[in-house]
A and B are shown apart, each in its own frame.
Chain A
Amino acid sequence: MSTLSVKTDISNNAAIITLEGNLDSSTAPQFHEAVQKVIPQNPQELVLDVEKLDFMASAGLRVIIFAKQKLGSTAKLILVKPQDQLIETLKMTGLLFSVTLVDHYPE
């Protein structure tokens, strides 16, 4: 069974969601729930700390697209330290055009 740990922090205008483990169809609902929780705060930045996220399937990408659609075009989507394989997936699916990759947050 795959496991995902999801931690959520709100600070100033940013919502930070830390994802660790495996994000597939069985665990994506946990990520979706975290996103639902931060949307009403209307964060200007949605930060996903994915340094320790080892796997992400399309179920995870759909939650990211959903989040951006809810937060609107002015909100910034930031990914902290994605692994190479995840960057490859983002590139393949065009999501890389819409996210900012950073090594640390705050920079």
Chain B
Amino acid sequence: MEASTKSQKFSANLDSLGHIREFITDSAKLAGLDKSKTYKLCLAVDEIATNIINYGYLRSGIENGIIDITIQITKDQLIAILEDTATPFNPFDRKMPNEEELKKPLEERQIGGLGIMLAKENVDEFNYLFQNGKNLNIFSINL
């Protein structure tokens, strides 16, 4: 298969989340991903998009924000790149719950950190870069 690239811009509000998942699902279909991998990619992207919208843009008071999503499909990978011009936000700086925390009864659990964890654990590779004033969140799935 020839490598292919497509991209789409979404306005940075929570109502876009459903559209973003649709775009990811359609792209996954093109790449021939199965239902489980497609869901996992949607979940990972949804979590990071939510953070960009809520923290990067809204909480920083930036209006009319955009999330630009590019999908690259190669012979053996699907790569989804989320690009935004919001406040720099490195998901790897966030503390994630450790093994011990995850085993605690819910009454004793901290509520935060799950989103980033789901973003990392549901794809084969997850990377973050801040480049030319833009946040880049890069997800890779092996085909």
Residues of A within 8 A of B (CB): 1-3, 22, 24-26, 55, 57-59, 61-62, 64-66, 68-69, 72-73, 77, 84-85, 88-89, 92-95, 97-98
Contact = CB atoms under 8 A, between A and B. Distances in A.
Q: Which residue, A55, A84, A94, has most C-beta atoms of chain B within 10 A?
A: A94
B106 A69 contact: yes
Given A57-B50, A61-B114, A62-B114, 15 more contacts: A1-B19, A22-B18, A24-B46, A55-B39, A55-B46, A58-B47, A58-B118, A66-B111, A69-B109, A85-B39, A85-B40, A89-B118, A92-B122, A94-B102, A97-B103
A22 B42 CA distance: 12
A65 B17 contact: no
Given A22-B18, A26-B14, A55 B42 contact: yes
Interface in B86-107: 97, 101-107
29 contacts: A1-B18, A1-B19, A22-B21, A24-B14, A24-B17, A24-B18, A25-B50, A25-B53, A25-B54, A55-B42, A55-B43, A57-B47, A57-B118, A58-B47, A59-B50, A62-B111, A64-B106, A65-B111, A68-B106, A69-B106, A85-B35, A89-B43, A92-B118, A92-B122, A93-B97, A93-B102, A93-B118, A94-B101, A97-B105
